[in-house]
A and B are shown apart, each in its own frame.
Chain A
Amino acid sequence: MLEIRNLHARIAEDGTEIIRGLNLTVKAGEVAAIMGPNGSGKSTLSYVLSGRSDYEVTEGDILYNGESILELDPAERAAKGVFLAFQYPVEIPGVATMQFLKVAMNEQRKARGEDELTTPDFMRRVKEAAAKLQINTEMLKRPLNVGFSGGEKKRAEILQMALLEPKLCVLDETDSGLDIDALKIVADGVNALRSPDRAVVVITHYQRLLDYIVPDTVHVLYKGQVIKSGDKTLAHELEANGYADIIGAAA
Chain B
Amino acid sequence: MNMQTTSRLTAAETALIEAFNHQIGDLPGNGAVTALRDRLLDDLKKAGLPTRRIEAWHYTDLKNLLRTLPPQVGDAGSNALEPLVDGSAVLAVIQGHANQKAAADGLGVSAYSEHLLDGSAADGLDALGSDDAVGRINGSFVRDGYVVDVPADTELDAPFEIQFVHAGGQAHTRLPVTFGAGVKATVIERHLAVTGDAALVSHVSDIAVGEGAELTWIILQQQGADDTHLGQIHIDLGANARLRLFVINAGGKLVRQELHIKVTGEGADLTLRGINLLGAESHTDVTMVLGHDVPHTGSTEVIRNVVFDRAKGVFQGMIRVAPDAQKTDAKMACNTLLMSDDAEFSVKPELEIFADDVQCGHGATVTDIDANHLYYMMARGIPENKARAMLVNAFVAEIVEELEDEALVEALEGVISAWLEKHA
Contacts and interface: CB of A to CB of B under 8 A. Distances in A.
A94 B376 contact: no
A50 interface: yes
B171 to A, nearest CB: 35
B348 interface: no
Contacts of A103: 382, 386, 390
Contact of A92 (B371, B377, B378, B379): B377
* B384, B394, B395, B397 — most chain A CB neighbours (10 Å): B394
Given A92-B391, A103-B390, A108 B377 contact: no
B381 A107 contact: yes
A107 B386 contact: yes
Contacts of B354: none
B381 A164 contact: yes
Contacts of A95: 390-391, 394
Interface in B346-399: 371-373, 375-384, 386-387, 390-391, 393-395, 397-398
A44 interface: no
Contacts of A94: 391, 393-395, 397-398
A90 interface: yes
A175 to B, nearest CB: 20
A143 B386 CA distance: 17
Contacts of B390: 95, 100, 103
Contact of A86 (B376, B378, B381, B387): B376
Size category, B interface: 20 to 34
How big is chain A's contact interface, by range?
20 to 34
A160 B372 contact: no
Contacts of B398: 93-94
A50 B394 contact: no
A52 interface: yes
Contacts of A89: 376
A50 B383 CA distance: 14
Nearest to B380: A104
Given A73-B384, A94-B398, A95-B391, A78 B379 contact: yes
B382 A75 contact: yes
Contacts of A92: 373, 376-377, 391, 394
A134 interface: no
Nearest to A85: B379
A189 interface: no
A78 B380 CA distance: 6
Given A94-B395, A103-B390, A107-B386, A160 B380 contact: yes
Contact of B382 (A50, A84, A107, A143): A107
Contacts of B391: 92, 94-95
A164 B375 CA distance: 17
A111 interface: yes
Contacts of A84: 379
B378 A78 contact: yes
A67 to B, nearest CB: 17
A116 to B, nearest CB: 13
Contacts of B382: 75, 103-104, 107
B384 A75 contact: yes
A94 B275 CA distance: 15
Given A54-B371, A78-B380, 7 more contacts: A74-B375, A75-B384, A79-B381, A90-B373, A93-B394, A94-B391, A100-B377
18 contacts: A52-B375, A74-B375, A75-B381, A77-B379, A78-B379, A78-B381, A92-B373, A92-B394, A93-B398, A94-B397, A94-B398, A100-B377, A103-B382, A104-B377, A104-B380, A108-B380, A111-B383, A164-B381
Interface of A: 50-54, 73-75, 77-79, 83-84, 86, 89-90, 92-95, 100, 103-104, 107-108, 111, 143, 160, 164
